A and B are shown apart, each in its own frame.
Chain A
Amino acid sequence: MADPVLRAQHVQVRFDAGRVRAVDTVSLEVGRGEVVALVGESGCGKTTLIRSVVGLEPLAAGSVEVEGRPIGSSGKGRALRAVRRRVQMIFQDPTGALNPRHSIYEAVAEGLRIHKVKGDEAALVSDALAAAGLRPPERYLRRFPHELSGGQKQRVLIAAAMALQPALLLADEPVASLDASIRGEILALMRSYVERDGVSIVAVTHDLGLAWNIADRVAVMYLGRIVEVGPAEAVLRSPQHPYTRALLSVVPETGHLEQQILTGETPDPSKVPSGCRFHPRCPVVASGEAARLGIEDRCRGVDLELEVVAEGHEVACHAVSVRST
């Protein structure tokens, strides 16, 4: 990809004194104005991955570059602060993400003050609120978070993030805590910033419907790894990885896939299985198809990386590799 906004290479994030690899060697590039959905079950490391991009989790290995400049422990001081401004994040729980003691004005102005943004602070705050759909902004400036609804609070967070004119917006389950009736509005709002400002978005979600709605590309994570990544259309219409197929098969709208309920233990990142980390729960292995293809030993014993199966579509699965050759 030429001139990506985000280039994460071989990122590892470890917890518990290094014993748990929450994110295990993930590489991801995001182009300008591109919306990438990061999907997977709870605990698969998707939130940890974007937290590491914004510097909230230290990298155990690998590197993260935003617009070609390193972020995280490799950058220092003023340079780091300048890069930080280009990456902003919104959170799953807008109530917790707003300091209850700060008025809406202060919440939005906080980033402007930290980065000493030039210009009329009051005007910048009002514009940001109006752009996020809180109109007229004067009505909200002096209010406090507890006086707003969940959707309004999420708009405040988006306004505060976008007031800094970032190149990349990271969204951690941006609508999971909101009423179904306003999820669409918030997603449309996020999409509007892509069209208007050319911002790139990485949205973490376990909701594939959301991925359908706003993503250009989809990356599927399982146990700290990306197992499938590609254009939203390709990944969601013709999923290759058995894990992606299983995820999609339980979404009502995708009637064309036979429903597969995943069995086996929920993944524990402190005990990553050998070989393909999905093999204990993999329907291909369980049904004996892997044995028929003569790859069961590889599934159980050989770890693997993403392989290109089509233009921009990559999958990490022994069965897919064997079938395509």
Chain B
Amino acid sequence: MSAAVAWARRRASAADAWRRLRRDRLAMTALIVLVAFVVMALIAPLVSDRADFDAINTGGNPTNSSPSGQFVLGTDGLGRSMALQVMWGARISLLVGFSATVLMIVLGVVVGLAAGFFGGWIDAVLMRITDWFMVIPFLPLAIVLASVLERGVGTIVLVIGITSWPSTARLIRSQVLSIRERLYVDRARALGAGKGHIIGRHILPNVTPLILANTTLAVPIAILTETTLSFLGLGDPTQVSWGGLLERAGTTAVKAGYWWEYLPPGVGIVLVVLAFTIIGRAVEEVLDPRLRAR
């Protein structure tokens, strides 16, 4: 079969999946929320200037003022606009969340797939490496890496990525081990299928729901891990993130009842995490014909 036909078929099935997803109201709402946050993060530099909330430029602003016409979400203890900080914070939180997740899923899926499918010594070697990474205590490694490597978003992504892939790898491996023993894999082999065909057409599509579920869980974990690292001073001090905002608010604003300083980033995290979970569930339903409502 020619590549063009295969491509057309793939495009048709993608269009079909999208049509079914469109019918899911909840998923569409979640998608809109998520897109809104992403758009907000993307346009932040277009509608404002990073320098607008540098402490040296905010001397004339009122401090800890509640939301008003001038400051939609009020200001913090240094007179910086919370609205701007939440917008700019979304950039770092989402960037770290997405990139660390991608790194973690790609590493985990490749290792888990190879170990589960090929078995034997490949499995043994890969799983020992996985165990090794699994028992490395997360924080000490993060501290070491953050001090050895350059401070920055890239380092945070790397730290989260390489400390969190082993659980994904183990999960994928166990699923692959179960799927490769299924009768339909035997049938594909009896039909004359090679390894590539079996992985691409049978194994991978059947671990996709697991990958998606894992991704939806990994994004919030990555976002929260970024918070932890920022709290420990291992984040990028020149950047503002939702985690950083929460952390700063935790010391004084919470006690003083300045809700506008901790609620917006907190709600942001909750909405993004929730949106991800809902979308992940809906996508899983679309990809698995058995879960489809008749």
Contact = CB atoms under 8 A, between A and B. Distances in A.
Interface of A: 51, 54-56, 81, 84-85, 88-89, 91, 93, 96-102, 110-116, 121, 144, 146, 157, 160-161, 164
Contact of B201 (A85, A110, A161, A164): A110
A104 B191 CA distance: 16
A238 B167 CA distance: 63
Given A114-B197, A121-B1, A97 B186 contact: yes
Contacts of B182: 96
Contact of B187 (A91, A112, A113, A121): A91
11 contacts: A56-B189, A88-B190, A89-B187, A97-B184, A97-B186, A110-B193, A110-B201, A111-B192, A114-B197, A121-B1, A160-B191
A55 B189 contact: yes
B60 interface: no
B183 A96 contact: yes
Given A113-B1, A116-B1, A121-B1, A96 B193 contact: no
A85 B189 contact: no
Given A93-B183, A96-B183, A101 B205 contact: yes
B289 interface: yes
Contact of B190 (A54, A101, A112): A54
Interface in B256-294: 287-290
Interface in B177-204: 182-184, 186-194, 197, 201-202
Interface residues of B, number: 23
Contact of A84 (B192, B205, B288, B289): B192
A56 B289 contact: no
B206 interface: yes
A144 B287 CA distance: 13
Interface of B is mostly: helix
A96 B183 CA distance: 5
Nearest to B179: A99
Given A91-B183, A96-B182, A111 B288 contact: no
Contacts of B192: 81, 84-85, 111, 114-115
A210 B79 CA distance: 88
A178 B197 CA distance: 30
A91 B184 CA distance: 10
A55 B202 CA distance: 19
Given A96-B182, A121-B5, 12 more contacts: A85-B192, A88-B190, A88-B191, A99-B184, A100-B289, A100-B290, A101-B206, A110-B191, A114-B188, A121-B1, A144-B289, A146-B289
Given A100-B290, A144-B289, A111 B184 contact: no
Nearest to B192: A84
Contacts of B287: 101
Contacts of B290: 100, 144, 146
B184 A114 contact: no
Given A55-B190, A110-B201, A98 B184 contact: yes
- In the A-B complex, list the 6 residue pairs whose CB atoms are closest, starting with the nearest: A96-B183, A84-B192, A111-B191, A89-B190, A99-B184, A144-B289
Contact of A56 (B190, B194, B197, B205): B190
Contacts of A88: 190-191
A224 B1 CA distance: 42
A110 B188 contact: yes
B130 to A, nearest CB: 26
Contact of A101 (B189, B194, B289): B289
Contacts of A110: 188, 191, 193, 201
A153 B37 CA distance: 47
A97 B188 CA distance: 9
B186 A56 contact: yes
Contacts of A146: 289-290
B120 to A, nearest CB: 13
